[in-house]
Structure 1
Amino acid sequence: MSTTDTPRDGAAPSRSALAGIRILDLTQVMSGPYCTMILADLGADVIKIENPVKGDQTRASWGYSVVGDDSRAFLSLNRNKRSVSLDLKRDEDREAFLALVRTADVVIENFRPGVAARLGVDYASVREHNQRIIYASISGFGQTGPYSQRPGYDLIAQAMTGVMSVMGEEGGAPVKSAIPIADLGAGMFCTIGILGAVIARGDGDEGQYLETSLFESALAMSVWESAEFWSTGEPPRPLGSANRMSAPYQALATSDGHLTIGANNEKLWRLLCEVIEAPDLVQDPRFVDNNRRMDNRVELAAELERRFAGATTDEWVERLLARGVPAGPIRDYEQVLTDDPHVRARNMVTSFEHPVEGRTLVLGSPLKLSGTPVQVRTPPPLLGEHNDEVLGEIATRPVAPERSAGAA
Structure 2
Amino acid sequence: MLDQLEAEFPEHAPRRSDAPKALDGIRVIDFSHFIAGPLATMILADMGAEVIKIEAPEKGDDLRRYPPLHPDLRHGAPFLWTNRNKRSVAVDLKSAEGLKVVRELIATADVVVENFSTGVMKRLGLDYDNCRRIKPDIIYCSVSAYGRDGAFADRLGFDPIAQVESGFVSMNGYADREGVRALSPVMDISTAMMASNAILGAVVARQRSGVGQAIEVSLFDTAVLMTGYATLQHLFSGADTQRHGNTSPDTCPSGVFQAQDRSFYINCGNDKIFQRLMAQVIGRADMATAEIYATGPERIRRRDELFAILGEAFAQQPWSYWQSRMRAAGVPCGQVRSIGEAIRSPEARERAIVTRIPHPTVGWVPNVSLPIRYSETPVVDPVVAPAVGQHTEEVLREVLGYDDARLARLAEEGGLGARRQPASADKRA
Q: Same fold (TM over 0.5)?
A: yes
1:56 CA drift (Å) = 0.4
Match of residue 133 from structure 2: 128
Distance 1:196 1:2 in 2: 33
Contact residue 107 and residue 136 of structure 1 kept, 8 A: yes
1:2 CA drift (Å) = 5.9
Distance 1:199 1:182 in 2: 26
Contact residue 105 and residue 400 of structure 2 kept, 8 A: no
Unmatched tracts of structure 2, length 5 or more = 1-9, 403-429
SS of equivalent to 2:355: strand
Distance 1:286 1:258, change over 3 A: farther
- Structure 2 residue corresponding to 1:250, chosen from 247, 252, 255: 255
Contact residue 4 and residue 375 of structure 1 kept, 8 A: no
Distance 1:120 1:276, change over 3 A: same
- Structure 1 residue corresponding to 2:231, chosen from 211, 214, 226: 226
Unmatched tracts of structure 1, length 5 or more = 398-408
Distance 1:64 1:82 in 2: 23
Match of residue 66 from structure 1: 70
**What do residues 352-379 of structure 1 show as CA deviations (whole Å, max 9, x unaligned)?**
2223333001211210001111123421
**Is residue 271 from structure 1 mapped to residue 276 from structure 2 by the alignment?**
yes
- Greater shift after overlay, 381-390 or 223-232? 223-232
Contact residue 287 and residue 300 of structure 1 kept, 8 A: no
Distance 1:4 1:249, change over 3 A: farther
Contact residue 141 and residue 213 of structure 1 kept, 8 A: yes
**Is residue 44 from structure 1 mapped to residue 53 from structure 2 by the alignment?**
no
- Greater shift after overlay, 261-270 or 341-350? 341-350
Match runs of 1:6-405 below 5 Å:
6=15, 11-60=16-65, 62-68=66-72, 69-202=74-207, 204-274=209-279, 275-282=281-288, 287-338=293-344, 340-395=345-400
- Greater shift after overlay, 174-183 or 129-138? 174-183
**What do residues 85-133 of structure 1 show as CA deviations (whole Å, max 9, x unaligned)?**
0121211111100000010000000111111111211111111100110
SS of equivalent to 1:331: coil
- Greater shift after overlay, 373-382 or 109-118? 373-382
Match of residue 406 from structure 2: none
**What do residues 270-319 of structure 1 show as CA deviations (whole Å, max 9, x unaligned)?**
00011112334345565331122234434432332122111122211111
Report runs of 4+ in structure 1 exceeding 6 Å deviation: none
- Greater shift after overlay, 216-225 or 152-161? 216-225
Contact residue 13 and residue 371 of structure 1 kept, 8 A: no
1:77 CA drift (Å) = 1.0
Distance 1:334 1:44, change over 3 A: same
Distance 2:160 2:13 in 1: 31
Contact residue 271 and residue 294 of structure 2 kept, 8 A: no
Contact residue 205 and residue 211 of structure 2 kept, 8 A: no
Distance 1:291 1:146, change over 3 A: farther
Contact residue 163 and residue 169 of structure 2 kept, 8 A: yes
Contact residue 260 and residue 318 of structure 2 kept, 8 A: yes
SS of equivalent to 2:147: coil
Distance 1:52 1:220 in 2: 37
Distance 2:365 2:45 in 1: 18
SS of equivalent to 2:180: coil
Distance 1:314 1:224, change over 3 A: farther
Percent identity between the aligned chains? 35
Distance 1:230 1:204 in 2: 39
Contact residue 275 and residue 289 of structure 2 kept, 8 A: no
Distance 1:63 1:13 in 2: 38
1:268 CA drift (Å) = 0.9
Distance 1:352 1:334 in 2: 19
SS of equivalent to 2:276: helix
Contact residue 99 and residue 394 of structure 1 kept, 8 A: no
1:13 CA drift (Å) = 4.3
- Greater shift after overlay, 346-355 or 119-128? 346-355
Match of residue 416 from structure 2: none
Contact residue 114 and residue 142 of structure 2 kept, 8 A: yes
- Aligned residues: CA RMSD: 2.0
